Amino acid sequence: MELSEIYQQSNKPQVSFEIFPPKNGDISKLFDELRILKRYNPALISITYGANGGTRDFSYEILRMIIDLELTPMPHFTCICATKELIEHYIVQIENMGVENILALRGDEANAKSENFCSLDFKYANELVDFINQKTTLSIGVGGYPEGHPEAESTEKDIENLKRKVDAGASAIFTQMFFENDKYYRYVERVQKAGINIPVIPGIMPVRSLAQAQKMVEMTSVKIPDELRKCLEKNPKGVGVEFGISQCQDLINNGVKGLHFFTLNHSDMVSKILDEIIK
C-alpha cells in the first residue's frame, strides 16, 4: 500500500518501525525481532541505508525477507554519494521486487566518506525525489526536522527546503526523533502554514540509557529535556518506556496519523510502549 493510502485509511494512528541492516550480516536475530513486532500490525518497516553499514546487496536481501514476512518495506535511500546510474538501477530493481515506498534522503558527509564512488550527481534530497518520481511509480517519504536540520540557515529556510521535496512529489514526512512534543506541534504548524498538506509522521526513539540518548543527540542536535536527563541519570530502568508511553499518548491525543519508531533492531521497549497505548 502506498504512503498516501496508508495514512488515509483509518482514524487510528498507523505504526511503523525503522530497522537497520546488522553490521555483522546476521539477519536471523533481526527477523526474530520483526516477527515479534508484526503483532502490532505495522503499516511499514523502514530500513536505513548507508548509515550503520547498510549496503545495496544486503538491502535487497532484507527487503525480500520483509516481503516474505508479509510486511510492507520502505527502504531508505541516500543520494549523497551515488551516481544517477546507480540510483536508477536501485530504484528500478526494488520496484521490480514489488516495493511501493521509499524514504528519499540526502545522507550525511560522514557516511559518504566511507564510500568510494562519491560523484554527487544530486546535492539535495529534493533532486532525488524528483528523479525517483520521473523514473518510477514509487511513493516517496522524506525527512523532516522539528528542531531544525543542523545545517539549515534558518527555520524558515529549512521549511522552504522541505517544501521543495514536497513539490517534487513526496507523499509523507517522517521526522527526526524529538523528546519535546511541543517542538513537533510547532513544526507541524509551520509546515502547514507553508502550504504543505501531507502527513508529518513523528519519529519516536525509545531511550534505553542516557549514554544511548547522548549518542543520538550528538548525531542529530536534538535536545534531551532536563527532566528526562535527570530521571535517566538517577535510575534508567523503565524510564524510557514510561517516557515513550506518555510521549506517544500525548501525540495520539493530538491526532497524529502515525508513530514511526526507531527500534534500533530491538522489539522489547517498543512492544512495552505499544502494549500500553494500543488497547
Q: Which residues are catalytic?
A: 18
CB of 39 to ligand FAD, least distance (A): 23
Span 31-60, contacts to ligand FAD by CB under 6 A: 48-51
The binder of ligand FAD chosen from 176, 247, 263, 267 (CB under 6 A): 176
Q: Which of 36, 152, 252, 277 binds ligand FAD (CB under 6 A)?
A: 152
**Binding of ligand FAD by 146 (CB under 6 A):** no
Contact present, 1 and 100 (Cβ < 8 Å) = yes
Output 40 or 262, the one with its CB closest to ligand FAD: 262
In the complex, the smallest distance separating the C-beta of residue 78 from ligand FAD, rounded to whole angstroms, is 5
Residue 271: CB minimum distance to ligand FAD, A:
21
Interaction residues for ligand FAD, span 63-92 (CB under 6 A) = 76, 78
143 near ligand FAD, judged by CB under 6 A = yes
Site of interaction with ligand FAD (CB under 6 A): 48-51, 76, 78, 105-108, 111, 124-126, 143, 149, 151-152, 157-158, 161, 164-165, 174, 176, 203
